[in-house]
């Protein structure tokens, strides 16, 4: 394995780092219509595909105690990685569900079937990393709008939403 082709060709470096402070709080909160305040999932856009020049997307996913998470699926164009910060998150690697806790990590290459759930009854937090950086924010925001509004999608509408966002349910 070798380093990729150079993307920066200057000689002296540049000031270009971007700091996101923890105090910024979540960018998106997803909760079912009628759910009590403070429940649901809070998502922080730590580094989006847009802000990283397409290199990666990194999101902090803070789940409340109620069960949540997507069903088994795969992506054709992106990898997805999960790193558990706190609590217990059930991770699915396409074959087995495991209870992952602080420090556990799962990498899923393109085409790899995976899922995650918080079924612990306690809050849980993890980092989700996509490579290369894809515009996942639009997908997360669509799911939040559907959940908070209580809007019901047909099977065809779900399939189209998933297809637009490189998500193939199994």
Summarize pLDDT for 123-139 with one digit per residue, the tens. Answer: 999 999 999 999 999 99
115 DSSP β-pair partners = 92
pLDDT digits (tens, 9 = 90+) for 69-128: 999 999 999 999 999 999 999 999 999 999 999 999 999 999 999 999 999 999 999 999
Residue 57: other Cβ atoms inside 10 A: 25
What kind of architecture, by CATH, is found in domain 37-169? Sandwich (2.60)
What percent of the chain lies above the pLDDT cut of 70? 99
Instruction: Please spell the DSSP secondary structure of 41-106, one letter per residue.
Output: EEEEEEE-TTTTTTS-EEEEEEE-SS-B-PPSEE-SS-EEEEEEEES-EEEE-SS-EEEE-TT-EE
By the 8 A CB rule, do 108 and 132 touch? no
Q: Record the pTM.
A: 0.93
Q: What three-state secondary structure class fits 12?
A: coil
């Amino acid at each position: 394995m070798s380093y990729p082709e150079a993307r920066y060709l200057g000689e002296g470096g540049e000031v270009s780092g971007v700091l996101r402070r923890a105090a910024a709080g979540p960018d998106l909160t997803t909760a079912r219509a009628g759910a009590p305040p403070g429940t649901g999932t809070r998502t922080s856009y730590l580094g989006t595909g847009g802000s990283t020049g397409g290199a990666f997307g990194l999101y902090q996913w803070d789940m409340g105690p109620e069960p949540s998470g997507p069903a088994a699926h795969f992506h054709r164009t992106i990898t997805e990685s999960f790193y558990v910060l706190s609590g217990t998150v059930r991770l699915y690697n396409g074959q087995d569900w495991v209870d992952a806790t602080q420090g556990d990590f799962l990498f899923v290459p393109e085409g790899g079937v995976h899922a995650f759930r918080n079924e612990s009854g306690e809050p849980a937090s993890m980092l989700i990393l996509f490579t290369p950086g894809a515009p996942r924010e639009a997908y997360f925001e669509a799911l939040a709008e559907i959940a908070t509004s209580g809007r019901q999608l047909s099977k065809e509408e779900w399939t189209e939403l998933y297809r637009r966002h490189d998500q193939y349910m199994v």
